[in-house]
């Protein structure tokens, strides 16, 4: 569970996906997408923690799915947004957002 929290912490320490988009002159208008992704990533971590606290044992598959999504989010920071095509960055982020939504839909609310 610490890996999930640490990975989320790394993303947030950099301002989150929202902050990444806000710093980009070409992507600033789409920063609300980053805000949505940041919130959904946090919900994934909290959902996993809640399952653990309730005495349920989340599967290692679920843990790895969340950790991989965190890794995908962290990869966004590896390249300056203004040096990539706007459409390419948005496509990656929209894909990430969709994957997160699909996983959240499978978790108990």
Residue 80: is its pLDDT beyond 80?
no
Give SS3 for 78: coil
Question: What predicted TM-score, i.e. pTM, was given to this entire model?
Answer: 0.90
The two three-digit tokens of residue 93, written as one number = 């982020």
Residue 49: is its pLDDT beyond 80?
yes
Per-residue pLDDT tens over the stretch 7-38: 999 999 999 999 999 999 899 999 999 999 99
Residue 96: is its pLDDT beyond 80?
yes
12 close to 38: Cβ distance less than 8 angstroms: yes
Residue 79: is its pLDDT beyond 90?
no
């Amino acid at each position: 569970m610490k890996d999930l929290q640490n990975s989320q912490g790394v993303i947030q320490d950099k301002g989150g996906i929202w902050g990444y988009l806000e710093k980009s002159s070409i992507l600033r208008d789409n920063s609300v997408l980053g805000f949505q992704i940041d919130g959904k990533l946090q919900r994934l971590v909290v959902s996993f923690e809640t399952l653990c606290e309730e005495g349920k044992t989340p599967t290692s598959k679920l843990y790895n799915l969340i950790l991989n999504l965190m890794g995908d989010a962290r990869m966004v920071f590896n390249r300056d947004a203004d040096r990539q095509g706007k459409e390419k960055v948005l496509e990656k982020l929209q894909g990430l957002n969709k994957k997160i939504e699909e996983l959240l839909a499978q978790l108990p609310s």
